[in-house]
Amino acid sequence: MMLRSIMPRVIWDYRYFIFTSVLSDFKNQVARSKLGFFWLVAAPLSQVLIYAFVLSSVMSQKLPGIDSGFSYSIYLLASFQFWFLFVEIFNRSLSVFIDNASVIKKISFPRLALPLVVVITALINNMIFLLVTTCVYYVIGFYFSLSMIWFPVILAINIAFACGLGITLGVLNVFIRDISQISNIVIQFLFWLTPLVYTIDILPPAFQTIIKFNPLYWLSQAYHDVIVYGNGPNVAALSMMAVASVFLVCLGYFLFKKSSAEMVDVL
């Protein structure tokens, strides 16, 4: 209840700080570049193209339910729609307090505004990528179905899970800098333990069971169900992910409140 009442007040009272921070962050991404906006989508699309080129001949025969010659590319775009948002929010939340140490020491403002800046910036980038993805889909003759009404729900859960996990570890990272190094390694493993560039049904049953213990599997599956296959997500699994996301956000907030004073001294 406390977190729910504090967040709107922080957003409103410090709306100009948040807006200018987001604007500054966005400008920094395109600063001194004539093709600035192009680079916002060039990197993610190039990654999609690499996997599509290398693995399409293998995976194109493994994607039943997608009536398109570009089935694997369609699958990949949905995968990275989920993954890029998760990774950007998680990585930036993990280091948000360290990266803004000078601001935290010099300016008095609610520190919770910093994760909000991260989330808003990442969401803008993700919406730009979604717009480009939608254009690509239409060019190759693939169209969204009514299942896209679920998209805001899975988007919100993805954001909450990534931010909650990132802030929880981000607070710990201030005191134990090894956290960021360990997290970088774990994220690399999670990429391959989540069915992003492959489908889970190509794995042996024993490995499928292991993969399903990865919470990111359920989020990625929801993206694929909604975007690629035109189905509703697994509501039970999505509900559990929503509960886990709320728990992580509350845990991150609790750790932050308990250690905020000490964080300033350590930073």
In a domain, 195, yes or no: yes
In a domain, 191, yes or no: yes
In a domain, 83, yes or no: yes
Say how far residue 134 (Cα) sits from the centre of its chain: 18
Q: How many CB atoms lie within 10 A of CB 249?
A: 21
pLDDT of residue 239: 96
In a domain, 31, yes or no: no
pLDDT of residue 108: 64
What does pTM read for this prediction?
A: 0.87
pLDDT of residue 32: 58
pLDDT of residue 72: 85
Domains in the chain, number:
1
In a domain, 37, yes or no: no
In a domain, 112, yes or no: yes
Say how far residue 113 (Cα) sits from the centre of its chain: 18
pLDDT of residue 37: 65
Q: Which domain holds residue 87?
A: 10-22+44-51+69-266
| DSSP-based three-state secondary structure for 204 | coil
Where residue 213 falls (left for φ over 0; alpha for ψ -120 to 50; beta otherwise) is alpha
pLDDT tens digits, the chain, 267 residues: what are they?
A: 455 555 566 666 667 777 787 877 777 766 656 656 666 677 777 878 787 777 766 666 567 667 767 888 899 999 999 999 999 999 999 999 888 887 777 766 667 788 888 999 999 989 989 998 998 899 888 999 999 999 999 999 999 999 999 999 999 999 998 999 999 999 999 999 999 988 898 889 999 999 999 999 999 999 999 999 999 999 999 999 999 999 999 999 899 888 887 887 776
pLDDT of residue 223: 97
| DSSP-based three-state secondary structure for 14 | coil
In a domain, 212, yes or no: yes
What is the Cα–Cα distance from 111 to 117, expressed in whole angstroms? 11
pLDDT of residue 111: 72
In a domain, 90, yes or no: yes
What is the Cα–Cα distance from 36 to 67, expressed in whole angstroms? 35
Give the dihedral of Cα atoms 116, 120, 126, 128; nearest 10 deg: -170
pLDDT of residue 264: 74
Judge whether 77 and 136 are in contact, CB under 8 Å.
yes
